[in-house]
Amino acid sequence: MASSSKYPYSTETTQGVVGWKAPSNIALVKYWGKKGPQLPSNPSVSFTLSKCLTETHIKWSVDPEKKSGPKIDLTFEGKEAPHFQQKIEKFLGTIVDVCPWLDWCHLKIEGHNTFPHSAGIASSASSMAALALCLCSIEQKLTGTLDEPRRFYEKASFLARLGSGSASRSIFPKAALWGDMSAFGGRDEYALPVSNIHQSFENFADAILIVSDAEKEVSSSAGHALMDQHPYRQIRFSRARENCHKVIKAIAEGDIKSFGEILEQEALELHALMMLSQPSFILMRPGTLSIIEKVRAYRKRSRLPVYFTLDAGPNIHLLYQEAYRPEVIRFIENELLEHCQDRRWIDDKMGTGPEQVR
């Protein structure tokens, strides 16, 4: 809907404060490649995390007399962040057609992460999810159109997606599916919660092993663009779709072995795609490979179902059932931390989703 020049909302409420905490997520089946207005080339499934969060507070006000486009002042971790501010300004500019009230709005945005920026963990998913949730809370206050929770979260996921594709999945607790998959009601425009989760996945742990905290060598947008001309493009998109079916089934049935096999295959496929793209990128580091070898040897030796996955970077996510926590932590401390930068890791797990704090 294009916005009219006259302020169309009630003038009773013209200011307020909102705040949300939103988590990061780890993709089990990866989103890699996009089309149109940030729509995914294939469906993806993720686990929502618990400790890696962004908390965002927005002090907002509207001036019904002044339609001058969204105005923002932004601080991140208590400091001005011009690069981030520019990114958010651009993002808000792209969503005024779906949030027309923004044209009369001034937003004072304060954000901070619970995990260090230098941990090599992508914060765009949690930060865009927190921002989208704040925007939906403001929209509800101004228009009263999002009081039904399902509508609220769908819109939040829709907006988060336009900011950063994977952020669409961070809106939901435990596990989420994003992308067109009619069997599960999946849509390209926004993510949905995966509702059928077997109890063996309760509190599933994710040990994030920081092999390197260096800035990403290739941005996600550049990475997705590499798929446009990729020789394995079509086969990748159909395999990812198949893997979404398989992983959703494994999560419903508590089939940890099938889950783990898909998890590792997806991680290695993502990196293989990057190695074979033009230009080519090798984002694993020697420490990444050492950890992968040790995880596989440990699994064979201990018979414990511990599996790895990777983002588009060198750090490892080690996923395992909470019941095996003491043994796995001993394994991490004794064998894996020597490959991590300054022996750093984050002891995270499947989380309960975003939380409104104001």
- Residue 47 makes contact with ligand PMV by CB under 6 A: no
Query: Which residue among 23, 43, 111, 165 contacts ligand PMV (CB under 6 A)?
Result: 165
Q: How many CB atoms lie within 10 A of CB 285?
A: 17
Query: Which residue among 24, 44, 127, 157 contacts ligand PMV (CB under 6 A)?
Result: 44
Q: Which amino acid is at 313?
A: G
Quickly list DSSP for 58-126. Answer: EEEEE-TT-----EEEEEETTEE-HHHHHHHHHHHHHHTTTSGGGGGEEEEEEEEESS-GGGS---HHH
Rounded CA separation 334/270 (Å): 28
- Residue 341 makes contact with ligand PMV by CB under 6 A: no
Rounded CA separation 181/282 (Å): 31
- Residue 220 makes contact with ligand PMV by CB under 6 A: yes
Quickly list DSSP for 215-275. Answer: PPSS-HHHHHHTTTT-TTHHHHHHHHHHHHHHHHHHHHHT-HHHHHHHHHHHHHHHHHHHH
- Residue 48 makes contact with ligand PMV by CB under 6 A: no
Q: Which amino acid is at 321?
A: Q
Rounded CA separation 319/299 (Å): 12
> What binding mask, one character per residue, do residues 292-311 give for ligand PMV by CB under 6 A, x or -?
-------------------x
Minimum distance from residue 200 beta carbon to ligand PMV (Å):
23
- Residue 312 makes contact with ligand PMV by CB under 6 A: yes
Which of 60-68, 141-149, 163-171, 187-195 is the region at the interface with ligand PMV (rule: CB under 6 A)? Answer: 163-171
- Residue 213 makes contact with ligand PMV by CB under 6 A: no
**Cα dihedral 277→278→283→285 (10° resolution):** 100
Which of 29-37, 141-149, 206-214, 339-347 is the region at the interface with ligand PMV (rule: CB under 6 A)? Answer: 29-37
Q: Is the CB of residue 339 less than 8 Å from the CB of residue 317?
A: no
Minimum distance from residue 28 beta carbon to ligand PMV (Å):
9
Q: Identify which of residues 32 and 320 has a Cβ nearer to ligand PMV in the complex.
A: 32
- Residue 42 makes contact with ligand PMV by CB under 6 A: no
Which of 26-34, 93-101, 180-188, 197-205 is the region at the interface with ligand PMV (rule: CB under 6 A)? Answer: 26-34
Which of 107-115, 161-169, 207-215, 247-255 is the region at the interface with ligand PMV (rule: CB under 6 A)? Answer: 161-169
Output phi, psi for 96, to 5 deg. Answer: -60, -25
Minimum distance from residue 202 beta carbon to ligand PMV (Å):
23
Query: Which residue among 31, 104, 308, 320 contacts ligand PMV (CB under 6 A)?
Result: 31
- Residue 141 makes contact with ligand PMV by CB under 6 A: no
Minimum distance from residue 332 beta carbon to ligand PMV (Å):
22
Question: By rule CB under 6 A, what count of residues binds ligand PMV?
Answer: 13
Rounded CA separation 4/188 (Å): 28
Rounded CA separation 107/56 (Å): 12
Find residue 144's DSSP bridge partners.
Answer: none
Query: Which residue among 124, 157, 170, 309 contacts ligand PMV (CB under 6 A)?
Result: 124
- Residue 243 makes contact with ligand PMV by CB under 6 A: no
Strand, coil or helix: what is 145?
A: coil
Rounded CA separation 173/47 (Å): 8
Minimum distance from residue 48 beta carbon to ligand PMV (Å):
12
Q: What are the residues binding ligand PMV (CB under 6 A)?
A: 27, 30-32, 44, 122, 124, 164-166, 220, 311-312
